[in-house]
Chain A
Amino acid sequence: MRFLRTSSAALVVASAWLSGCGDRPDHWDKTVELPVKQLGLTGSVAVVDPSLDRVLMLGVASGQNLVSTPLGVGKNIVTAVASPDRGTLFVLSRGVQPRRNPEDERPSLTVIDGGLEPKRLARYSLTDPLQGLAIDPEGEWAVVFDAGGIVVNPNELILVNLKDAKAEPLSKTIRSFGGRPERLTFTSELAVPNGAPRRLLIVETGQDVTLVDLSAPTSDEVTIPLPKTPTGQPGKPAQVDFHDGDPDDPTDARIAIRLANDPNVMLAELGTPPSNEDKPFRVTLNVADVGGVPSDIAFVQTDGGLRLAALVPSGYRATLVDPSTTVTETVAFERPYSRLTRVTDSVTNKPIQSDVALLWSNSAVGVAFWSLGKTSGTPFRSVDPYDIGISVARVTNVPGDKYAHLKILESASAPEFYILDLDKRQSFPMLTNASGFTLDVSPDGERAWALRPGTPDFASITLSDLHPTSLTVERDVSAVHELARRDGGRAVLAIHAVYRDGHGALGATVLDALAPDTAKSRFYPGLMFGGLR
Chain B
Amino acid sequence: MNALKTVAALGVLGSLLAPLGACGSSDDSAASGAPSDGGGGGFPGTGGSGAASGGSTMSDSGPPPPPPEQEVESSFRAPVTTGRYVWSANPDSGRVALIDAVTLELTIAEAGFGPTYLAALSPADDDDSDAAIVLNVLSHDATVFRRKAGGGLDTLTLPTHQGANSWAVSHDGSWAIAWTDAARIEKPDPTDGFQDVTVLSLTPGKESSTRLSVGYRPTSVVIAQDAKRAFAITEPGISVIALSAAPSVTALFEVTDDPLADPASRDVSVTPDGALALVRRDGSSAVGFVDLETGARTERPLGGPITDLDLHPDGKIALAVVREKSELWVLPIPEAQTDPSAGDMLAIPTETFGSVSASEDGSTALLFTNATPNDRLSIVDLRAGADYLTHRTVSIKSPVLAVFPAADGQHALALGTVPQSSTKQGAFSVIPTTKLLSPKVVGTDAPPVAVALSPAPTTRGLIAIRDEQKKKYGVYVARMPSLQVDLIPLASPPLSTGMLPQAKRGYVAQKHPEGRITFIDLEDGSARTLTGFELGAKVVD
- Residues on A lying within 8 angstroms of B by beta carbon are 175, 220-228, 230, 232, 264, 266, 274, 279, 282-289, 291, 324-328
Question: Given contacts A223-B540, A225-B538, A274-B151, are A284 and B529 in contact (CB under 8 A)?
Answer: no
- Residues on B lying within 8 angstroms of A by beta carbon are 104, 106, 151, 488-489, 491-492, 512-514, 516, 526-533, 535-536, 538-541
**Shortest Cβ gap from B391 to chain A (Å):** 42
B541 near A283 with CB under 8 A, answer yes
Chain B, residue nearest A329 (CB): B489
Distance in angstroms between the alpha carbons of A443 and B74 in the assembled complex: 71
Which residues of B sit under 8 angstroms from A324, Cβ to Cβ? 528
**Shortest Cβ gap from B67 to chain A (Å):** 39
Question: Which residue of the partner chain, among B489, B527, B531, contacts A287 with CB atoms under 8 Å?
Answer: B531
Distance in angstroms between the alpha carbons of A176 and B531 in the assembled complex: 24
Question: Which residue of the partner chain, among A221, A284, A289, contacts B106 with CB atoms under 8 Å?
Answer: A284
Chain A, residue nearest B489 (CB): A328
What are 18 A-B contacts with C-beta separation under 8 Å? A222-B539, A222-B541, A224-B535, A226-B535, A227-B513, A228-B513, A232-B513, A282-B541, A283-B536, A283-B539, A286-B530, A287-B531, A288-B531, A326-B528, A327-B488, A327-B529, A328-B489, A328-B491
A227 near B514 with CB under 8 A, answer yes
Chain B, residue nearest A223 (CB): B540
Distance in angstroms between the alpha carbons of A18 and B514 in the assembled complex: 68
A175 near B514 with CB under 8 A, answer no
Which residues of B sit under 8 angstroms from A225, Cβ to Cβ? 535, 538-539
Question: Given contacts A227-B535, A327-B527, are A288 and B491 in contact (CB under 8 A)?
Answer: yes
A285 near B527 with CB under 8 A, answer no
Which residues of A sit under 8 angstroms from B106, Cβ to Cβ? 284
Distance in angstroms between the alpha carbons of A291 and B106 in the assembled complex: 26
Question: Which residue of the partner chain, among B491, B513, B527, contacts A325 with CB atoms under 8 Å?
Answer: B527
Which residues of B sit under 8 angstroms from A291, Cβ to Cβ? 491
Distance in angstroms between the alpha carbons of A286 and B536 in the assembled complex: 8
B491 near A224 with CB under 8 A, answer no
**Shortest Cβ gap from B149 to chain A (Å):** 13
Give 5 nearest A-B pairs by CB, closest first. Answer: A289-B491, A287-B531, A325-B528, A225-B538, A326-B529
Distance in angstroms between the alpha carbons of A287 and B527 in the assembled complex: 14
B535 near A325 with CB under 8 A, answer no
Which residues of A sit under 8 angstroms from B516, Cβ to Cβ? 287
Which residues of B sit under 8 angstroms from A287, Cβ to Cβ? 512, 514, 516, 531-532, 535
B531 near A326 with CB under 8 A, answer yes
**Shortest Cβ gap from B79 to chain A (Å):** 19
Which residues of A sit under 8 angstroms from B529, Cβ to Cβ? 286, 288, 325-327
**Shortest Cβ gap from B177 to chain A (Å):** 36
Distance in angstroms between the alpha carbons of A274 and B103 in the assembled complex: 13
**Shortest Cβ gap from B80 to chain A (Å):** 22
Chain A, residue nearest B530 (CB): A286
Which residues of A sit under 8 angstroms from B151, Cβ to Cβ? 274
Q: Is the interface of B mostly helix, strand, loop or mixed?
A: mixed
Chain B, residue nearest A286 (CB): B531
Chain B, residue nearest A266 (CB): B532
A327 near B528 with CB under 8 A, answer yes
**Shortest Cβ gap from B471 to chain A (Å):** 9
Distance in angstroms between the alpha carbons of A175 and B539 in the assembled complex: 11
**Shortest Cβ gap from A117 to chain B (Å):** 46
Which residues of B sit under 8 angstroms from A327, Cβ to Cβ? 488, 526-529
Which residues of A sit under 8 angstroms from B492, Cβ to Cβ? 289
Distance in angstroms between the alpha carbons of A424 and B311 in the assembled complex: 74
Which residues of A sit under 8 angstroms from B489, Cβ to Cβ? 328
Distance in angstroms between the alpha carbons of A227 and B512 in the assembled complex: 10
Which residues of A sit under 8 angstroms from B530, Cβ to Cβ? 286, 326
Distance in angstroms between the alpha carbons of A230 and B492 in the assembled complex: 12
A325 near B539 with CB under 8 A, answer no
Chain A, residue nearest B519 (CB): A325
Distance in angstroms between the alpha carbons of A255 and B491 in the assembled complex: 21
Distance in angstroms between the alpha carbons of A319 and B530 in the assembled complex: 17
Question: Which residue among B527, B529, B530 has the maximum number of chain A CB atoms within 10 Å of its CB?
Answer: B529
**Shortest Cβ gap from B8 to chain A (Å):** 32
Which residues of B sit under 8 angstroms from A328, Cβ to Cβ? 489, 491
Chain B, residue nearest A291 (CB): B491
Which residues of A sit under 8 angstroms from B527, Cβ to Cβ? 325, 327
B539 near A285 with CB under 8 A, answer yes
B539 near A223 with CB under 8 A, answer yes
Which residues of A sit under 8 angstroms from B532, Cβ to Cβ? 227, 266, 285-287
Distance in angstroms between the alpha carbons of A175 and B540 in the assembled complex: 9
**Shortest Cβ gap from A521 to chain B (Å):** 60
Which residues of B sit under 8 angstroms from A274, Cβ to Cβ? 151
**Shortest Cβ gap from A258 to chain B (Å):** 15
Which residues of B sit under 8 angstroms from A232, Cβ to Cβ? 513
Which residues of B sit under 8 angstroms from A226, Cβ to Cβ? 535
Known: A326-B528, A327-B526. 14 other contacts (CB 8 A): A220-B541, A223-B541, A224-B535, A225-B535, A228-B513, A264-B531, A274-B151, A283-B536, A286-B532, A287-B512, A288-B491, A327-B528, A327-B529, A328-B491
A222 near B540 with CB under 8 A, answer yes
Which residues of A sit under 8 angstroms from B531, Cβ to Cβ? 264, 286-289, 326
Distance in angstroms between the alpha carbons of A235 and B217 in the assembled complex: 43
Chain B, residue nearest A222 (CB): B541
Which residues of B sit under 8 angstroms from A279, Cβ to Cβ? 541
Which residues of B sit under 8 angstroms from A223, Cβ to Cβ? 539-541
Distance in angstroms between the alpha carbons of A327 and B536 in the assembled complex: 19
**Shortest Cβ gap from B25 to chain A (Å):** 36
Which residues of A sit under 8 angstroms from B513, Cβ to Cβ? 227-228, 230, 232
**Shortest Cβ gap from A195 to chain B (Å):** 14
Which residues of B sit under 8 angstroms from A266, Cβ to Cβ? 532
Distance in angstroms between the alpha carbons of A284 and B104 in the assembled complex: 10
Chain B, residue nearest A330 (CB): B489
**Shortest Cβ gap from B523 to chain A (Å):** 15
Chain A, residue nearest B516 (CB): A287
Distance in angstroms between the alpha carbons of A285 and B536 in the assembled complex: 6
Distance in angstroms between the alpha carbons of A511 and B538 in the assembled complex: 59
Chain A, residue nearest B492 (CB): A289
B535 near A285 with CB under 8 A, answer yes
Chain A, residue nearest B521 (CB): A325
Chain A, residue nearest B106 (CB): A284
**Shortest Cβ gap from B537 to chain A (Å):** 9
Distance in angstroms between the alpha carbons of A175 and B538 in the assembled complex: 13
**Shortest Cβ gap from B421 to chain A (Å):** 30
Which residues of B sit under 8 angstroms from A285, Cβ to Cβ? 532-533, 535-536, 539
Distance in angstroms between the alpha carbons of A352 and B514 in the assembled complex: 38
Question: Which residue among B488, B492, B538 has the maximum number of chain A CB atoms within 10 Å of its CB?
Answer: B538
Which residues of B sit under 8 angstroms from A284, Cβ to Cβ? 104, 106, 536
**Shortest Cβ gap from B180 to chain A (Å):** 30
Distance in angstroms between the alpha carbons of A232 and B513 in the assembled complex: 9
Distance in angstroms between the alpha carbons of A248 and B62 in the assembled complex: 78
**Shortest Cβ gap from B518 to chain A (Å):** 8
**Shortest Cβ gap from A261 to chain B (Å):** 15
Which residues of B sit under 8 angstroms from A325, Cβ to Cβ? 526-529
